[in-house]
Structure 1
């Protein structure tokens, strides 16, 4: 098994695209990249910890290669927005790929370059590629939020502009 860690704005919206795919073992919402030990949601949300909201995915690379995870990841975000994602603003909602080994680093760099060269976006791709650091699991109420609060999750996701962005940029 391997781990993949992706920041794509609100971690609630980053779970559903990856779940129930062959080879995906589990997906945990959490925080990484900052200096505060054991941060809480309220602390991360304040933007003062240096952490970003992330999902950490445990997967079997024989069944679901890391490169496919990257393809799916890019299609969930606006990789040109360095100040947050959709209606979630601030560095705690910025995008990043946190690599766990050199192979992941190489794959992430190649996938980012391919996206840049594709011409899909007029603005530069600003998603960072960073080494994985300590991962802190988010509070229980954030885990599987979309299943615990389906009505609010669906409404919030649609209002955020994420789904419209995905339709406009990835269904062409």
Structure 2
């Protein structure tokens, strides 16, 4: 087993767990916070946007079974990497997108992946590529949100789709 860890900030962490959670080779997906200036932040603090933390998911995976390249594909399919102000209806610095890498291979693969998809977008990709920092596990109620709150999760997905449709109609 080649267990590795990657951290993805893709907007609201509630929406970022399920896409990764059901594959062989993915050991765990946990919601948390990374990148801010205070220790042990709470959700109430992070959601204000004043702590500089991003909502992230920690993914522990077996690189021999589930490739980092596949993780990147899944991650970038979930986000709008050109939006520096948040993701979809979730606005604020805590909802920015980022890849927090844990080794140089992840960093280089992320750089190369972004370069390979840039021409699909009308605007520059602004997803940050940063070294991993201290990961603060989110409170229990934020773990496995889609499993524990299926109706609210479903509504979040509907709201996200409606937001995307609305934005496309505005352009």
Same fold (TM over 0.5): yes
Which sections of structure 2, spanning at least 5 residues, go unmatched?
Answer: none
Distance 1:74 1:126, change over 3 A: same
Secondary structure in 1 matching 2:27: strand
TM-score (norm 2): 0.92
Which sections of structure 1, spanning at least 5 residues, go unmatched?
Answer: none
1 CA distance for matches of 2:92 and 2:49? 7
2 CA distance for matches of 1:83 and 1:162? 18
- The partner residue of 2:105 within 96, 103, 106 is 103
Distance 1:82 1:162, change over 3 A: farther
Q: Give 1:151's aligned residue.
A: 151
Q: Give 1:135's aligned residue.
A: 135
- The partner residue of 1:115 within 99, 105, 117 is 117
Q: Does 1:80 align with 2:82?
A: yes
2 CA distance for matches of 1:68 and 1:163? 27
Compute the displacement of 1:160 (Å).
2.3
Compute the displacement of 1:14 (Å).
0.4
Aligned length: 164
2 CA distance for matches of 1:146 and 1:71? 21
Runs of 4+ in 1 over 2 A off after TM superposition: 160-165
CA RMSD of the aligned region, Å? 1.5
2 CA distance for matches of 1:163 and 1:110? 30
